[in-house]
Amino acid sequence: MDTKILIIGACGQIGTELTHQLRAIYGNENVIASDIRKLNHPVVNDGIFEVVNALDYNQIQHLVEKYQITDVYLMAALLSATAEKNPAFAWDLNMNSLFHVLNLAKAGWIKKIFWPSSIAVFGPTTPKNQTPQYTIMEPTTVYGISKQTGERWCEYYHQQYGVDVRSIRYPGLISWTTPPGGGTTDYAVDIYYKAISEGKYTCFLSEETELPMMYMDDAIRATIEIMQAPAEKIKIRSSYNLSAISFTPKQITEEIQKHYPNFEVTYEPDFRQKIADSWPNSVNDNEAREDWNWKHQFDLNAMTFEMLTNLEKTLV
């Protein structure tokens, strides 16, 4: 049976690039993008697109049936900083959309699910450095609570019903193709935009706040690789730790200043500082590297070069 893919939340930061890559691999006709509204957007214009509400089970089932979908990538979610402003809706969206696709798989409608988790599942009591796969998880944000709960449900549906669900805990993701989307790690996207457009940036985290980060190309590759891996290789059905690089706002500023020597950054920590302080400085992802051969390719130097080179073409 051919792979037929439905991406829910295809117009978001990850969804946009994931859709592009999956269409390149599987063909436009086999990758159906969907989101809550139809925008003038490359994902909408370059292939099959459907409007879908991730909270409506019947709408999702209709698309699965219509296109004979085998794999669902559920990328719709309210991110950390945005979710804190609307906790009830964040819980509803992040949890019930997951239940809908898990139940569709349980009923035999779909074969495989990708669901993203996050370093937000960790909390202030989690070991900060080289956070292990199995550790204390006491998240303090709505986003983190919903992701930790989602991990437990994914594992439960796999164990009880044999649902083939796969997940990775994304660190902060950095991309030049879509603007920041309301996450606590988004300073590391915005800082590149401001370096080029304004020559200065006010950072909402303190200069020594170290967080796990990843260039988007690596994250997309990891997402596709875990879905393409043989089922027996996927030994963790909650969610895999995933790691590439860790850095502070001060370190990313110094890297940018190698290209833009006059770039200035000031620090005015806001409510997002407390969220960042509850997350790890670095993550140990040995299980992902051993089980399905994960390897990152971009360090801070290579990522900065890519970000600035590509943004200079689009912003200047």
Nearest to 263 by CA among 272, 271, 253: 253
The letter for the amino acid at 22 is L
Residues 204, 187 contacting (CB under 8 angstroms): yes
Question: Alpha-carbon torsion 184, 167, 163, 108, what sign?
Answer: positive
Three-state secondary-structure class, residue 37: coil
Residue 190 to residue 176: CA distance in whole angstroms: 9
Residues 14, 220 contacting (CB under 8 angstroms): yes
Residues 31, 55 contacting (CB under 8 angstroms): no
Three-state secondary-structure class, residue 240: strand
Cβ-Cβ contacts under 8 Å for 88 (sequence gap 6 or more): none
Three-state secondary-structure class, residue 195: helix
Beta pairing, strands 240-241 & 168-170: parallel
Token output for 74: 């559920």
Could you list the active site residues? 143
